[in-house]
């Protein structure tokens, strides 16, 4: 299940193998910084996804205030008319509203609800939920216990990749206290990622640090989640849906991580679901080719690690160009970041192992030889021996400082 913060990210998720996507309308979603989807765009997105056999789940997971409830019936009716497969909600008061105003849309319960036991999961199922998104603080053993004590008709969804919140499944007021931006209303400023210093009362003129090299301590900075190496454990614990975090992240991230989990899950299934299955090394390496923080396995095998010394991102790769088509023995591309004739680019094609391509010859959009790609989003041509699907990615390894704040 892949994130789709806008139409470009939706296309990436569909191309690279998502079984389902989650997205939001212009209101009531927990990612206000994304472009999200208007009513017309939502209907188009649902048609496109359904044409490719992909389900669409819409997040309605803020905690709406009383004065906002008047807008909910009309919003829910638009969602229902668009053909969305399920609504993801966090507020129990929305359950009857969804049933009344979106009767053709299934009800999923957000991780914001904080579901940590089978009693809550069963109660929500009795109230009409067909799926619950479990709290991120659960171990695999705890998930297995929930699975063992709930109806097989209730699907269990869990996050498997992406940013982790230092709070209880996102029920956090830290951002609101420090920046006046409410994370429970989709506007988190992420102060858990900020660097902090200390002042000792008897020495107010001296700023002190805890565990740092760069003058700051990242007290609340959770590592990113990465469960690519643990597909069988998730399956045998009873997880029905593997959820990738990242509606605010780039289409490149959506493409790479969706493709990696598609290959890992399909590989595990093709191998007969052995308990010790490990994806090919190239699949595991894909997680390092997107912008990310240091990885961990979250709470699945015990308490997660937090990175006290580094609050930024590791960015080892960047997109050089995106494939638009193929003609006369040349890939037709548009540029995303500057590169040069003679560079070696790594090519990601949906469903294939990535391969290297040496740019021995490079042409502009008119077919004239060039030595580099200096103009943003300029059309390009590179000779190649076969067509590649539109949306395939050419990327390069960065040679500058790959860690950024």
Q: What is the pLDDT of residues 338-386, one digit of tens each?
A: 999 999 999 999 999 999 999 999 999 999 999 999 999 999 999 999 9
Q: What is the pLDDT of residues 267-293, one digit of tens each?
A: 999 999 999 899 999 999 999 999 998
Residue 48 is predicted with a pLDDT of 98
Average pLDDT over residues 108-132: 96
CATH number of 317-404: 2.40.30.10
Q: Do the strands 86-89 and 224-226 form a parallel or antiparallel pair, or are they unpaired?
A: unpaired
Q: Which position has the higher pLDDT, 32 or 122?
A: 122
CATH number of 2-170+225-292: 3.20.20.70
Residue 21 is predicted with a pLDDT of 98
CA pair distance 291, 3, nearest whole angstrom: 15
**Mean pLDDT across the chain, nearest whole number?**
90
Q: Which position has the higher pLDDT, 187 or 225?
A: 225
Confidence of residue 217 (pLDDT cuts 50, 70, 90): low
97 pLDDT more than 90? yes
Average pLDDT over residues 91-100: 96
Residue 405 is predicted with a pLDDT of 54
CA pair distance 388, 383, nearest whole angstrom: 12
Average pLDDT over residues 324-338: 97
Residue 117 is predicted with a pLDDT of 96
Q: What percent of the chain has a predicted confidence (pLDDT) above 90?
A: 73
Q: What is the pLDDT of residues 233-257, one digit of tens each?
A: 999 999 999 999 998 899 999 999 9
Residue 168 is predicted with a pLDDT of 54
Give CB contacts under 8 A, 24+ apart, made by 33-38: 33/186, 33/187, 33/248, 34/5, 34/6, 34/247, 34/248, 35/5, 35/6, 35/7, 36/5, 36/6, 37/6, 37/7
Residue 134 is predicted with a pLDDT of 96
Residue 351 is predicted with a pLDDT of 93
Confidence of residue 26 (pLDDT cuts 50, 70, 90): confident
Residue 148 is predicted with a pLDDT of 98
Least confident of 21-30, 140-149, 203-212, 258-267: 203-212
Confidence of residue 175 (pLDDT cuts 50, 70, 90): confident
Residue 184 is predicted with a pLDDT of 63
The residue extents of the domains of the chain are 2-170+225-292, 317-404
133 pLDDT more than 70? yes
Residue 249 is predicted with a pLDDT of 92
Confidence of residue 181 (pLDDT cuts 50, 70, 90): confident
Average pLDDT over residues 24-42: 82
Confidence of residue 35 (pLDDT cuts 50, 70, 90): confident
Global pTM exceeds 0.85: yes
Please report, in angstroms and rounded to a whole number, the separation of the first and last CA atoms in the chain.
28
Give me Rg for the CA atoms of the chain.
Answer: 23
Q: Are 14 and 21 in contact (CB under 8 A)?
A: yes
Residue 310 is predicted with a pLDDT of 66
């Amino acid at each position: 299940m892949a994130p789709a913060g806008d139409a470009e990210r939706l296309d990436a998720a569909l191309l690279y193998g998502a079984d389902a996507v989650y997205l939001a309308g212009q209101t009531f979603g927990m990612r206000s910084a994304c472009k999200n989807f208007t009513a017309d765009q939502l209907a188009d997105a649902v048609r496109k996804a359904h044409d490719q056999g992909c389900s669409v789940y819409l997040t309605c997971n803020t905690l709406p205030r009383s004065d906002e409830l008047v807008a909910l019936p009309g919003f829910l009716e638009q969602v229902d008319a668009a053909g969305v497969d399920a609504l993801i909600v966090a507020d129990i008061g929305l359950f009857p509203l969804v049933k009344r105003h979106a009767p053709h849309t299934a009800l999923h319960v957000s991780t914001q609800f904080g579901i940590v036991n089978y009693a809550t999961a069963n109660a929500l199922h009795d109230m009409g939920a067909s799926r619950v998104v479990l709290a991120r603080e659960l171990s695999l053993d705890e998930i297995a216990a929930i699975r063992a004590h709930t109806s097989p008709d209730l699907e269990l969804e869990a996050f498997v990749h992406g940013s982790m919140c230092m709070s209880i499944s996102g029920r956090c007021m830290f951002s609101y206290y420090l920046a006046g931006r409410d994370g429970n209303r989709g506007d988190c400023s992420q102060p858990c990622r900020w660097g902090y210093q200390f002042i000792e009362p008897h020495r107010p003129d001296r700023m002190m640090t805890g565990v740092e090299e760069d003058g700051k301590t990242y007290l609340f900075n959770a590592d990113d989640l990465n469960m690519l190496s643990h597909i069988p454990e998730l399956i045998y614990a009873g997880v029905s849906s593997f959820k990738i975090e990242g509606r605010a992240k780039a289409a490149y991230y959506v493409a790479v991580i969706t493709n990696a989990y598609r290959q890992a899950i399909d590989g595990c299934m093709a191998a007969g679901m052995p308990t010790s299955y490990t994806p090919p090394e190239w699949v595991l390496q894909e997680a390092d080719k997107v912008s990310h923080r240091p990885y961990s396995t979250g709470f699945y095998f015990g308490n997660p690690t937090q990175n006290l010394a580094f609050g930024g991102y590791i960015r080892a790769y960047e997109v050089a160009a995106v494939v638009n088509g193929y003609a006369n023995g040349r890939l037709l591309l548009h540029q995303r970041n500057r590169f040069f004739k003679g560079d070696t680019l790594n090519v990601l094609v949906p469903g294939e192992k990535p391969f290297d391509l040496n740019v021995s010859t490079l042409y502009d959009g008119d077919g004239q030889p060039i030595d580099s790609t200096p103009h943003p989003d300029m059309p390009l041509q590179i000779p190649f021996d076969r067509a590649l699907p539109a949306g395939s990615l050419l990327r390069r390894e960065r040679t500058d400082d790959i860690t950024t704040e």
